[in-house]
């Protein structure tokens, strides 16, 4: 069993890579000169991804008066940030489905969705990139899915104990394995060549003050969303375990307790209102 993050990364050789089509789309997204036609050529080669793109464009969230029937229309309606978020989300969901089927696994996915929606809502109200925040929130606990796939005989009982005792997942992981899910998630983010901001949010959402300076704001948004999701009952463990991360996030975002309380009330409403909008994932 690896005992340091460096050794852990070196021993992840059999983890799944980012699907080829997703990798190509993300590489296109990093090129400013990329056009809608470039994305169309890639997405059209993947039946599942093409279907997801059309479903998203036709979802009630976009309030369209007519059905979107073609990929060019769908890509134009979604826009690049939303399209990128949807593609990464699809890959994350596929990874989650490889793990053991259990009540704890279902709660992990529900938590990921709640954190994604809350991250987006916080970002919108804090003038931060909302699509990036949504993706970071969705991926923040990706390391838990990896642990569930690689060592289910050890990790499933650990999650059950966290759920029953309302404990701190990271503490129990460190005690049992010598590393936690944030380190595993960071390793997978690097393997998938995800943007540095996403990797930082995955690694440091429990300690946003420790994130690289350029990515502390995004990480802080995810930390607040993570805490709020547990307060709403979405996920495993007790909200109290995330209070320190939330305090750090407040400092980084320059929020006093009154401002945070008002903001959280708005975000709660947004999450409850949008809870059914992510069924495509």
Full set of structural domains in the chain with CATH = 101-274 (1.10.3210.10)
Chain segment 139-153, per-residue pLDDT in tens:
899 888 888 877 888
List of residues 6+ apart from 239 with CB closer than 8 A: 227, 230, 231
Residue 202 and residue 71: Cα distance in Å, rounded? 31
Supply the pLDDT for residue 39.
84
Residue percentage of the chain with pLDDT more than 70:
81
User: How many Å is the Cα radius of gyration of the chain?
Assistant: 18
Whole-angstrom CA distances from 39 to 50, 86, 137, 193, 195 are 11, 13, 24, 18, 18
Please provide the average confidence, as pLDDT, over all residues in the chain. 82
Chain segment 69-94, per-residue pLDDT in tens:
788 888 888 887 777 777 777 767 66
Chain segment 20-64, per-residue pLDDT in tens:
777 777 777 767 788 888 888 888 877 677 877 888 888 755 666
For range 197-225, the mean pLDDT: 97
Query: Model pTM?
Result: 0.76
For range 129-136, the mean pLDDT: 86
Whether the Cβ atoms of residue 281 and residue 64 lie closer than 8 Å to each other: no
Whether the pLDDT of residue 177 is over 60: the answer is: yes
């Amino acid at each position: 069993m690896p005992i340091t993050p460096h050794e852990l990364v070196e021993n992840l050789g059999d983890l799944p890579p980012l699907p080829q089509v997703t990798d190509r789309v993300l590489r296109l997204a990093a090129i400013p000169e990329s056009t809608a036609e470039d994305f169309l050529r890639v997405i059209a080669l993947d039946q599942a991804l093409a279907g997801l793109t059309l479903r998203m464009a036709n979802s009630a969230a976009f309030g369209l008066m007519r059905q979107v029937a073609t990929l060019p229309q769908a890509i134009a309606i979604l826009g690049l940030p939303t399209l990128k978020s949807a593609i990464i989300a699809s890959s994350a969901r596929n990874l989650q489905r490889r793990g053991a089927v259990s009540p704890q696994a279902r709660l992990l996915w529900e938590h990921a969705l709640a954190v994604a929606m809350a991250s987006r809502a916080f970002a919108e109200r804090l003038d931060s990139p909302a699509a990036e925040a949504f993706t970071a929130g969705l991926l923040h606990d990706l390391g838990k899915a990896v642990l569930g796939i690689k060592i289910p005989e050890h990790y499933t009982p650990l999650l059950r104990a966290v759920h029953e005792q309302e404990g701190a997942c990271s503490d129990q992981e460190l005690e049992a394995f010598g590393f936690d899910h944030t380190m595993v998630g960071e390793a997978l983010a690097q393997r998938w060549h995800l943007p540095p901001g996403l990797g930082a949010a995955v690694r440091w959402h429990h300690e946003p003050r420790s994130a690289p300076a350029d990515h502390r704001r995004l990480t802080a948004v995810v930390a607040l969303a993570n805490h709020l999701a547990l307060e709403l009952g979405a996920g495993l463990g007790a909200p109290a375990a995330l209070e320190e991360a939330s305090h750090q996030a407040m400092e980084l975002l320059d929020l006093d307790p009154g401002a945070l309380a008002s903001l959280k009330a708005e975000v709660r409403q947004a999450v409850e209102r949008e809870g059914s909008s992510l069924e495509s994932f």
